[in-house]
Amino acid sequence: MPQVDPELFDRSQFQAELALKASPIAAYKKAIRQARQVLDERFKAGRDIRRLIQDRAWFVDQILRSAWDRFDWNNGADIALVAVGGYGRGELHPYSDIDLLILLDANDQEMFRDSIEGFLTLLWDIGLEVGQAVRSVAECADEARADLTVITNLMESRTIAGPERLRQAMLRVTSTQQMWPSKEFFLAKRNEQRARHAKYNNTEYNLEPNVKGSPGGLRDIQTILWIARREFGTLNLQAMVDQGFLTEGEHSLLTAAQEFLWKVRYGLHMLAGRAEDRLLFDHQRSLAALLGYEDNDAKLAIERFMQKYYRIVMSIAELSDLVGQHFAEVILWEGESGPIVPLNSRFQVRDGYLEVSNAAIFKRTPFAILETFVLLAQHPDIQGVRSDTIRLLRDHRYLIDDIFRQDLRNTSLFIELFKCKEGIHRNLRRMNRYGILGRYLPEFGHIVGQMQHDLFHIYTVDAHTLNVIKYLRKLTKPGVAEKYPLASKLVERLPKPELIYIAGLYHDIAKGRGGDHSELGAVDAEQFCSRHKLPAWDTRLVVWLVENHLVMSTTAQRKDLSDPQVINDFAQLVGDETHLDYLYVLTVADINATNPTLWNSWRA
């Protein structure tokens, strides 16, 4: 933070204005208004975002100290003003809450009641959005022991005014020796993160994401840092490199991703004029312009901006998975490693997680990259991938080139994944998360983060595509027959179920290219089938499904079903019951993956 920044806050001028006025409120409001204008201009001029949010925290420090000093605290008294939460980290966006703790040595607020009330009233009167708590050191311990949010807030604290010894006493009584040992804290934070992700449908790709709370958002980065702070006493990404939890490359990526999301959040607050963390359609176009994106021949500015956003949050989610798994191995399982179970010469299972038998496997046998996901699908009892192997997968993605894509071992493994009884969707999603799927299928890579501008889709093209496969898989599970009785019955009698998954993967593959995506996608699907040596009948069916995947829903919802010509044309196109079965099942999955609220008895 800056020591002095007269452009942002001129202390002598502020004191002079305070002296001139009977009420301090006007002087405070003027200082806050001027600071906001200065910071907004710095943002528009491209100032480093890290400095910008620290500058705002520094300015608020000055205002709070000045306001605090207006009241009688009895010099040297046992009361302090402490910044907690994001403000405690020294990070403030334009309309972020200013989280404050008024900390007392003993539970005796009466002595300071008038001053506390006067101080807080002044903050509200001058327009600061504060969240405050008044607690003794002992009360902090009681609250923190009972509430994960409180302990998390208190971990990030700074003394603004008053004696620092009170904060140090609070840190001692809330330390890992007293409560929330790192193992317990890790499990609670992991559960909290899972619940938060579920709130956003466990996808980074909602079309109106929350920059802070959605998967891959700022809260995921902060969760990593909170766990590191509780276990190792550090709240710094660079320190995580020193601890071996991040490589230098991962640190650079995570730092750049955090700064990008900070820019987005700062711009959102500016545009909305309030604390807005939802990237709503109304703000996306304005924000793209504010951040310097322009239309070009291939994509609109808003599409370029949002695609970058989605790719950034996907990279954060990927690293969050990796670091979270690493934390689990160090914090939960340290010294408790079970027996190693070999799967083959390349892979083994340790503590329920898959790992390579040695670090050179992917370099020596690149086909093992795809084999990873096939093994996970073939062995559904395996819980996931160990962190070292996730990192090795990331480090060897560059091996996936044209030679790799044409290799019979790789094409065979990829088709094998679609024939597995379990885990098809889960492992395609893993492949996408780890950046493997878009490299193996470059045409899929083009739709990663691709927006869809319509009234129906609520996800990006790649997320929707994987959701189609998820719904296709759901149709094979017990318990869904009541909602989808016919589709559930038909999916069981498809002669080659793997073909419906391939068609689902390719049905929207050409979105965003211009032209008819069904026709362009059919070309891509045919090339896929040819490269993967599918028989001629299989190829024709997959291509036909991709080319005609919208026909059934269009006929049912937009044409006159009492017209015999409509029915005849549809029957002529479909040709036989097998094609009809495949098309019906794909259509049901496509509608539900577009937006689950669209499915109703009329559409059924």
Q: Around Cβ 312, how many Cβ atoms within 10 Å?
A: 22
Assigned token pair, 601:
């008895």
5 located within any domain: no
**Residue-wise pLDDT tens digits, 29-65:** 999 999 999 999 999 999 999 999 999 999 999 999 9
CB 333 within 8 A of CB 271: no
**Residue-wise pLDDT tens digits, 202-246:** 777 778 899 999 999 999 999 999 998 888 887 578 888 888 888
Q: What's the pLDDT at 158?
A: 95
3 located within any domain: no
**Residue-wise pLDDT tens digits, 450-490:** 876 654 666 788 989 999 999 999 998 887 777 888 999 99
Mark whether 346 and 319 lie in a shared domain. no
What is the rounded average pLDDT of the residues 342-351?
Answer: 94
Radius of gyration of the chain (CA): 29
Count of domains in the chain? 4
- Per the structure, the complete domain to which residue 583 belongs is given by 442-604
Q: What's the pLDDT at 457?
A: 60
**Residue-wise pLDDT tens digits, 398-433:** 999 999 999 999 999 999 999 999 999 999 999 999
The predicted model scores a pTM of 0.86
Mark whether 423 and 527 lie in a shared domain. no
User: Where in 323-377 does DSSP place strands (E)?
Assistant: 340-342, 347-350, 353-356
pLDDT surpasses 90 at 337: no
Q: Could you tell me the CATH number of the domain that includes residue 392? A: 1.10.110.30
The whole-angstrom separation of Cα 495 and Cα 488 is 14
Phi, psi at residue 454, to the nearest 5°? -155, 180
Q: Could you tell me the CATH number of the domain that includes residue 128? A: 3.30.460.10
Mark whether 321 and 357 lie in a shared domain. no
Question: Which amino acid is it at 87?
Answer: Y
pLDDT surpasses 60 at 516: yes
For the chain, give the longest Cα–Cα distance: 92
Mark whether 139 and 215 lie in a shared domain. no
Q: Final residue of a domain: which of 119, 142, 175?
A: 175
Mark whether 242 and 128 lie in a shared domain. no
**Residue-wise pLDDT tens digits, 253-267:** 999 999 999 999 999
Assigned token pair, 286:
């304005």
Assigned token pair, 186:
């890790």
6 located within any domain: no
What is the rounded average pLDDT of the residues 352-378?
Answer: 96
Q: What's the pLDDT at 570?
A: 87
Judged by DSSP in three states, 334 sits in: coil
Q: Could you tell me the CATH number of the domain that includes residue 323? A: 1.20.120.330
81 located within any domain: yes
Mark whether 352 and 269 lie in a shared domain. no
Q: Around Cβ 388, how many Cβ atoms within 10 Å?
A: 15
pLDDT-derived band at 604 (thresholds 50, 70, 90) equals low
Q: What's the pLDDT at 480?
A: 78
Q: Final residue of a domain: which of 416, 440, 464?
A: 440
98-104 and 130-136 beta bridge pairing: parallel
Whole-number Cα distances in Å, 56 to 24, 152, 225, 354: 21, 22, 22, 46
Q: How many helices (H) and strands (E) does the chain have?
A: 30, 8
The residue among 197, 207, 258, 250 whose CA lies nearest residue 449 is 207
